[in-house]
Amino acid sequence: MGSTKYPERRFGVCLAFLLGTLVTGGAARAQDASTPPPPAPEAASAAQAPAAAAPAPETEVTQCGDLQVGTGEGQLRPLGHGYYAEGKRVRRGCTLLLRRPVKNRAPEAFSPAAFRPLGCGFIRYAASVYWSQPLSDEDHVNEPNGQRADVLTKLDLADAETFEVDAECRPRDARFFYLNHAARSELPAFVAVPRGDGQGYEELGCGFVRYEGRVFFGTRLVEGAHAPSFTSVLGRLPYVECGSGMYGKDKAKVWWQQELLRGAKAKTFRIPKDENPEFRVSCDGRRSFQLASADKRPNLLCRVVKKPVKKRK
- Identify the pLDDT of residue 73: 86
pLDDT tens-digit series, residues 1-19: 334 433 444 444 444 434 3
Rounded-to-5 percentages of helix, strand, coil across the chain: 15, 30, 55
The DSSP secondary-structure symbol of 183 reads T
Stretch 131-159: mean pLDDT: 90
Rounded (10°) CA dihedral 301, 277, 218, 291: -40
pLDDT category of residue 309 using cuts at 50, 70 and 90: low
Q: CA–CA separation, 136 vs 63, rounded Å?
A: 28
- Domain definitions of the chain by residue range: 63-165, 200-313
Count Cβ neighbours within 10 Å for each residue of 215-240 and write b for 16 or more, e otherwise: bbbbbbbbeebebeebbbbbebbbbb
Who has greater pLDDT, 18 or 100?
Answer: 100
Concatenated DSSP letters of 90-146: EEETTEEEEE-SSTTS--EEPPGGGEEEEETTEEEETTEEEESS--SGGGEEE-TTS
Q: CA–CA separation, 99 vs 76, rounded Å?
A: 20
pLDDT tens-digit series, residues 233-287: 999 999 999 999 999 999 999 999 999 999 999 999 999 999 999 999 999 999 9
Residue type present at position 82: G
Instruction: Kindly tell me if the per-residue pLDDT of 48 is higher than 70.
Output: no
3-state secondary structure at position 185: coil
* Nearest alpha carbon to residue 140 among 132, 148, 129, 130: 148
Who has greater pLDDT, 245 or 34?
Answer: 245
Instruction: Kindly tell me if the per-residue pLDDT of 24 is higher than 70.
Output: no
In 10 A of CB 109, how many CB atoms? 16
Residue 276 near residue 282 (C-beta atoms within 8 A): no
pTM score, two decimals?
0.77
Residue 251 near residue 226 (C-beta atoms within 8 A): yes
- Identify the pLDDT of residue 224: 94
